[in-house]
Structure 1
């Protein structure tokens, strides 16, 4: 399998959805519009291409860290056309954390060209239980615990090998993204696993620490 990947990776820490609109079609992809938004059935992805030639279809991929991607679906091509084509895909089982989506355009020879990323927050019915931002100095981390007021949670920062670096048990006093977390001592720059455990669920996410 052959790949064409964008040279720039956008790491987004905003909680708002991102819409990519291009004044000129994006690469060989021909992408002119790409949006992710939450809805009653999950996360809806909409995109438009200016024209199509020799396209088999589009792979939809999802990630929480911009490093490891999971393929969650495929939309077949509408066929060769010189006119714009619009596509829609719904992630019916979205993650309850900030998630990034990208498209992979697959041509008839097996080449895959990837789009840039769009980002959306899709909380579960119980609400969000996460730490923000996912890219941080380690000094500005905040616990997001929508719907979990007065619950007790165990917090653990681990290396990718599973070694515990920092651990703390707290009671949630503010269920918005306002509870500051002080990690002392700060670990070296790198990618880490942050785990949040309460009485009925375990949430893990990757964070990037850059001092």
Structure 2
């Protein structure tokens, strides 16, 4: 699948609000990813990814947990086109608030070409630390333009212009210094994935997406998460492979989880390269948890729920003294044989792949 998204990882040195720490190590690296135009190219949606830098400090909560981020950027547009409106949906696991503004302070060192400015303001209050490695999607932004935007146009995070501090990561503790952000520059806007949606229909989720161009594409992997952090393969859909016209796809999640269900597409080429779509969220008010029966039990303990059993990672049973007396195999079964356990009261701990766990009291009686 040809992707016009080129991750030109030209790191721009963005300086902090205090001259004495100009050469400090980078705290956060930002990139704009998974961009999608609408059909007439007047609306553009993209994800904001954050990756830890060397100076990201998980030991001090005032340094890397209570923070405010301001990222000032630019997008190249045809002459006469402006940003009419914006929208930003933040990832609640890593942000407590956020907004995408079309009216940032002026760029004092503009690039050649017709660029319009925008900025992110993002806050964090006791949210999860940005994970190591590939980092995390902080949120999804959308531009609504006054006219069509070319696929050859670009986005960039402003570099330090020598007179003002145009992008920084700071703390709610105002006596702590601002920290440096780096980001991508001259990043092309991708056009191959036209749209991706997820909608609740009864007790199922319908997922629909379209592509405008495919080359060497192999398949789409539909992934789901309960928290926006731990992702698991839901199913795989074969791609068209080669196409220069619009192709439409659809599939259904027959067993969504109670609460939040986050969905994304992993678009995989025949050579193994891949890219992710933006994230969609669907909420279900299904009754969560499991029913364990029979209880009291003498022989075989069973589990029943509306949840997807594939989301269960392990089952453990503890006696009244807290000793572990049973651990499930790597693929837990819905039925556990307890006939070899003495009569008494036990606690069953059921853990899910998204990191959540539930405890249940059972009685073994004979």
**What TM-score results when the alignment is normalised by the length of structure 2?**
0.30
